[in-house]
Structure 1
Amino acid sequence: MSTSLTPNEEQRGDDTGSAPDTAALSVRWNARQWILLVIFSGAITLDGLENSMIAVAIPEIQRAFGVSAATAQWVPGAYILAFGAFLLLGGRCADLFGRKRVFVIGMAVFAVVSLLGAFADDALLIILTRFVKGVAAGFTAPAAMSLLTTTFQEGAQRNKAFGIFNVFEASGYSSGLLIGGFLAALNWRSTFVLPAVVAVALVLGALRFIPADPPRTRGSRLDVGGALTLLLGMLLLVFTVVEVPEIGWATPRTIGGFALSAVLLTAFVVIERKVREPLIRLSLFRDRNLVSANLSMFLLYGGAMAFQFVLALYLQNLNGWEPWHMSFVILPGTALTIIIGPRLGRLMDRFGVHKVLLVGLVSFIPCYLLFLRIGPEPDLWGVLVPVALVWGLGFALSLAALMVAGTAGIADEDQGLAAGLLNSSLQIGGAFGLAVVTAVIVPATRLGDLYPGIWMMLGFAVLTLLAHGLRKKA
């Protein structure tokens, strides 16, 4: 299932820095390939919109239904829980049952449930629709990413595709803050309608342009025992991590949650070792590049979510800014990502994926060091804009490169699983980073409370570099 160029029209960059031929630097796609890339990237844009728009609308939802803050936090939390828990299963189902089929069905469910949420008359119903949307996204995200990796050949094509994919991801979140603020001011229910419209457009585009799935391998079936233990283990793990900021690390509930999730995931490994057709081939984890990319993704996004959280507390809680104002602070970083993204493929071809990735990962260290200079009054031009620019540079270079590194050398039949692993690492890492930083900055009512959180972010950045060092050297 490939609409890509022929192998001799692309060349994979390496870590030697040797210049590839001119053809590798001028990958050209036809209109259909561009449309496919927009469809694949639309799924990740939708996820960014979904998370940022709802964050702005939560106060309005809370007032509309008169619910407590503890209940309201499950409006975003239910989506994160389901999304993080279903990614591995969704990725494997895409490999087994057809990537187009899984993408279309998941996106259709997403659209329908979004509309149901727009008309819900009870907060618990909204939380339920958000959970189901998270389940749907857990199938569409790895399906979209594996469609991308099997459509665009490894090397120059895939590098360029992931650079553009990264642009969609970054712009989805930041634009969602602006759009969400505008829509919430009109009517918070419209923040549920817009994702439904986008999802319907993606379904129609997928049906029209994505090639049909190849015939299923006769006799292939889902490992039900493995699927159940993995799903329950992941649900409990993500739920426990998401709950940590509310209940603390040392509580019996947290310790019990981690222990029981470890038991379930251990049972999953035992099943996978014995079953004839495993859900996940454990031999994949012998690939040091795959392990390194996933650890780096976990730590990178842990620091990134912590940064956004601390920045939001600083601007909103301590200085009274509106949530959508924060989008203007991070806008320079987003703009940098949009500028670099389409050119990132050429950078990776010329200098090698891992050299580009290393520069990106290193960028977060001066970024977080500069963030330590925040004072009682926000210094827009001296601190916040420079921080946003360096943060955007780090993300522009790191995220797409990690996706390339984490899927390189993986067989086509395992690309959905590899995509699910990377997305799971991203989601769980983000929740974990948020939980850890929340624990060290509580109660976060004074400026001084925020500094330990920034030091923790620096720790994440250093650990990310160490995780990158675990990769297999070329």
Structure 2
Amino acid sequence: MRPTPTPIPVPQPQLPDPRRWWALCVLGLAQLMILLDSTIVNVALPSMQRQLGMADGDRPWVVTSYTVAFGGLLLLAGRIADHAGRKRVFMSGLLGFALASAAGGVAPTAQVLFAARAVQGAFAALLAASALALVATTFTDPRERRKAIAVFGALGGAGGSLGVVLGGLLTQWAGWRWCLLVNVPIALLALLGSIWTPRDRARRPSGRVDVAGAVLGCGGLTTVVYGCSRAEAQGWTSPSVLGALAGGMALLMAFAWWQTRAATPLLPPRLLRDRRRVAALLAGGALMMAQLSVSLFLTYYLQTVLDWSAMASGLGFLPISVVTTATATQLGTRLLPRLGPRVMMTAGLSLAACGLFQFTLLTPDSSYAANVLPALVTFSVGNGGSFLAIMTSATADVPAQDSGIASASVNSAQQMGGSIGSAAFNTVAASAAAAFHGGTRAAAVHGFTTAIWVPLAVLLLAAAATATLAGTRSSRRTRPGAPTEVPAT
């Protein structure tokens, strides 16, 4: 009599954690704070300069010290999150961000403020890399994951716009220091809420952090972001800017070479073999370039041309948040499963470019309701429609142990695009306005409408790239025994 074979146990699917939506609230709050802090100090710069006695040449460092540290350390932050645990890094980032914000809020000198802003940027990198990774690993059901990423991204997008509004209100009613101190209760509230979020059960990569890759990659990103930030004041052809850009690109090329030879690379080359992910990174950088250019355009146009107050100008940004959020959460989540990432990214970027084209038609006599608002709505619909596809494609089909670095890569692409875009916009706008023969308001409008062609062209190029690259998921099939991946959408 033959023995009865032992049945092979069938693994039971893991039930979703009931606290996952609470986790999204906490993660979204942190994302809102990170992007809110990138714009909240802009309106307060004149007050900071007067009280701390800053020179005109030192004033940009209030913003630059934050953006350089944030953009330059994202890749390293992503790998630290993978190795040390995303939830642990997220909570550490919240605590560090709160302390740095408090230090900046009570800074007695400009130098202390610059240092506090740089520390803020470093902890913001830890938060950004770990937060998106936690969203990707917490929501494993494709439908829920689309909704979670849409909400998460919409909150982040709202942060940039709300930062201008809140900065104007706090500066006028409470003083510029509260533009930094307001982060303390927000960060502590998120830290308290993170105690009840699900445990981070995702696998961690083996081996050590690629120190050489971190030096090359973070050094290259930091140098490029620094060069772009200085181009606004010194011009693209100045020796310091050209030296920074050339040095940064050389470091990034060395980083790319080293990643193909390192035993445990900081940015595993396998992540970039997925053509859809590459398309998402290009689209993310182009979209952030356009977003910051629109922010600069709108700030200057409303205050310089339409003579709006800082508070009223901040309120003029609200349609971007409302329309982008509604499009991403209501339209994007429904259309993405049907049309796919390639159609959504290509159509969204093209529609956003149409919104920028409407900006080129503005004149000194244009009104907000009849001319500016329609352009904002068109741009925001394209922004919201493409954003969800970008974030989903950048983080889908990623082994759980690489979720942190995958999230950091899309954030790095956005930071690079934003840094280059804002510098290019300001430089072109200033040059075009200076060469224009006419009144001050007419020259300003001519500069803005000329400069907006730069992100418009980049959006169209990115749309063409996504249409070409995003058609196939990967150039290589998944090997048998490969790590379990996050389900694709």
TM-score clears 0.5: yes
Greater shift in the superposed pair: 375-384 or 113-122: 375-384
> Take 1:181 and 1:7, find their aligned partners in 2: how far apart are those partners?
50
TM superposition shift of 1:216? 5.2
Greater shift in the superposed pair: 71-80 or 310-319: 310-319
Instruction: Please state if 1:57 is matched with 2:66.
Output: no
Greater shift in the superposed pair: 353-362 or 100-109: 353-362
Instruction: Please state if 1:173 is matched with 2:171.
Output: no
Name the SS for the 1:187 alignment partner: coil
Identify the residue that residue 107 of structure 1 maps to in structure 2.
Answer: 94
Greater shift in the superposed pair: 195-204 or 438-447: 438-447
Quickly say closer, same or farther: Cα 1:380–1:154, change in 2 above 3 A: same
Instruction: Please state if 1:365 is matched with 2:353.
Output: yes
Q: What are the superposed Cα offsets for residues 321-357 of structure 1, whole Å, 9 maximum, x if unpaired?
A: 2233223223223212232333232332233333333
Identify the residue that residue 189 of structure 1 maps to in structure 2.
Answer: 177
TM superposition shift of 1:260? 1.5
Greater shift in the superposed pair: 182-191 or 369-378: 369-378
Quickly say closer, same or farther: Cα 1:430–1:313, change in 2 above 3 A: same
TM superposition shift of 1:62? 1.1
Identify the residue that residue 371 of structure 2 maps to in structure 1.
Answer: 383
> Take 1:177 and 1:55, find their aligned partners in 2: how far apart are those partners?
7
Quickly say closer, same or farther: Cα 1:88–1:462, change in 2 above 3 A: same
> Take 1:215 and 1:421, find their aligned partners in 2: how far apart are those partners?
19
Identify the residue that residue 418 of structure 1 maps to in structure 2.
Answer: 406
Instruction: Please state if 1:467 is matched with 2:465.
Output: yes
Sequence identity of aligned pairs in percent? Answer: 29
Moved over 4 A (4+): 6-9, 212-217
Quickly say closer, same or farther: Cα 1:325–1:31, change in 2 above 3 A: farther
Contact 1:232 1:264 in 2 (8 A): yes
Map 1:128-207; keep pairs closer than 5 Å: 128-153=115-140, 155-185=142-172, 186-207=174-195
> Take 1:468 and 1:167, find their aligned partners in 2: how far apart are those partners?
22
Identify the residue that residue 227 of structure 2 maps to in structure 1.
Answer: 240
Could you say which structure has the larger radius of gyration? 2
Identify the residue that residue 229 of structure 1 maps to in structure 2.
Answer: 216
Identify the residue that residue 345 of structure 1 maps to in structure 2.
Answer: 333
Quickly say closer, same or farther: Cα 1:216–1:281, change in 2 above 3 A: closer
The total of aligned residue pairs comes to: 449
Q: In the alignment, residue 446 of structure 2 is paired with which amino acid?
A: G
Quickly say closer, same or farther: Cα 1:86–1:384, change in 2 above 3 A: same
Contact 2:17 2:198 in 1 (8 A): no
Name the SS for the 1:46 alignment partner: helix
Among 292, 296, 303, the residue aligned to 2:290 = 303
TM superposition shift of 1:210? 3.4
Contact 2:44 2:168 in 1 (8 A): yes
Contact 2:341 2:470 in 1 (8 A): no
> Take 1:369 and 1:407, find their aligned partners in 2: how far apart are those partners?
31
Contact 1:155 1:349 in 2 (8 A): no
Greater shift in the superposed pair: 442-451 or 278-287: 442-451
> Take 1:119 and 1:295, find their aligned partners in 2: how far apart are those partners?
39
Q: What are the superposed Cα offsets for residues 89-113 of structure 1, whole Å, 9 maximum, x if unpaired?
A: 1111111111011111111100111
Contact 1:315 1:378 in 2 (8 A): no
> Take 2:28 and 2:469, find their aligned partners in 1: how far apart are those partners?
27
> Take 1:152 and 1:261, find their aligned partners in 2: how far apart are those partners?
36
State the TM-score, normalized to the length of structure 1.
Answer: 0.89
Name the SS for the 2:469 alignment partner: coil
Quickly say closer, same or farther: Cα 1:8–1:463, change in 2 above 3 A: farther
Instruction: Please state if 1:81 is matched with 2:81.
Output: no
Instruction: Please state if 1:264 is matched with 2:251.
Output: yes
TM superposition shift of 1:215? 7.5
Q: What are the superposed Cα offsets for residues 18-44 of structure 1, whole Å, 9 maximum, x if unpaired?
A: xxxxxxxxxxx8762211111121222
Q: What are the superposed Cα offsets for residues 353-375 of structure 1, whole Å, 9 maximum, x if unpaired?
A: 33333332121122112112211
> Take 2:36 and 2:389, find their aligned partners in 1: how far apart are those partners?
22
Contact 1:99 1:213 in 2 (8 A): no
Contact 1:159 1:349 in 2 (8 A): no
Q: Which has the higher contact order (CA 8 A, sep 6+)?
A: 1
> Take 2:103 and 2:142, find their aligned partners in 1: how far apart are those partners?
42
Identify the residue that residue 355 of structure 1 maps to in structure 2.
Answer: 343
Q: In the alignment, residue 412 of structure 1 is paired with which amino acid?
A: A
Name the SS for the 2:468 alignment partner: coil
Quickly say closer, same or farther: Cα 1:79–1:36, change in 2 above 3 A: same
> Take 2:124 and 2:57, find their aligned partners in 1: how far apart are those partners?
24
> Take 1:368 and 1:36, find their aligned partners in 2: how far apart are those partners?
36
Quickly say closer, same or farther: Cα 1:285–1:348, change in 2 above 3 A: same
State the TM-score, normalized to the length of structure 2.
Answer: 0.87
TM superposition shift of 1:200? 0.9
Name the SS for the 1:263 alignment partner: helix
Identify the residue that residue 17 of structure 1 maps to in structure 2.
Answer: none
Unaligned runs of 5+ in 1: 1-5, 10-28
Name the SS for the 2:317 alignment partner: helix
Quickly say closer, same or farther: Cα 1:170–1:472, change in 2 above 3 A: closer
C-alpha RMSD of matched pairs (Å): 2.1
> Take 2:139 and 2:312, find their aligned partners in 1: how far apart are those partners?
38
Name the SS for the 2:169 alignment partner: helix
Greater shift in the superposed pair: 247-256 or 104-113: 247-256
Quickly say closer, same or farther: Cα 1:215–1:463, change in 2 above 3 A: closer
Contact 1:329 1:388 in 2 (8 A): no
Q: In the alignment, residue 468 of structure 1 is paired with which amino acid?
A: T
Q: In the alignment, residue 86 of structure 2 is paired with which amino acid?
A: R
TM superposition shift of 1:410? 1.6
Contact 2:202 2:401 in 1 (8 A): no
